Amino acid sequence: MALIELRHVEKIYNARTVPVHALKGVSLRMEPGEFTVIVGPSGSGKTTLLNLIGGLDKPTSGTVELDGIDLATLGRGDLVDFRLHHIGFVFQAYNLIPVLTAEENVEFVMLLQGKPKELRRKTVRELLRGVGLEEKMSNRVSELSGGQQQRVAVARALASGPSFVLADEPTANLDTEAAETLLDIMESLNRERKTTFVFSTHDPRVVEKGRRVIRLVDGRVSEDTIRARI
Domains along the chain with CATH numbers: 31-56+71-226 (3.40.50.300)
Is the pLDDT at 164 greater than 60, yes or no?
Answer: yes
Is the pLDDT at 132 greater than 90, yes or no?
Answer: yes
- Pick from 1-10, 15-24, 70-79, 168-177: least confident: 15-24
Q: What's the whole-model pTM score?
A: 0.93
Q: What is the pLDDT of residue 151?
A: 95
Q: What are the helix (H) ranges across the chain? A: 46-53, 76-86, 102-113, 117-130, 146-159, 176-193, 204-209
- Return all residues near 19 (Cβ < 8 A) that are at least 6 apart: 12, 13
pLDDT category at 228 given cuts 50, 70, 90 is: low
Q: What is the pLDDT of residue 173?
A: 87
Mean pLDDT of 72-93: 94
Is the pLDDT at 176 greater than 70, yes or no?
Answer: yes
Q: What is the pLDDT of residue 177?
A: 92
Q: What are the helix (H) ranges across 59-101? A: 76-86
User: Pick from 216, 229, 155, 210: which is nearest to 185 by CA?
Assistant: 155
The answer to whether the beta carbons of residues 170 and 92 sit under 8 Å apart is yes
Q: What is the pLDDT of residue 94?
A: 82
The answer to whether the beta carbons of residues 9 and 63 sit under 8 Å apart is yes
Is the pLDDT at 113 greater than 90, yes or no?
Answer: yes
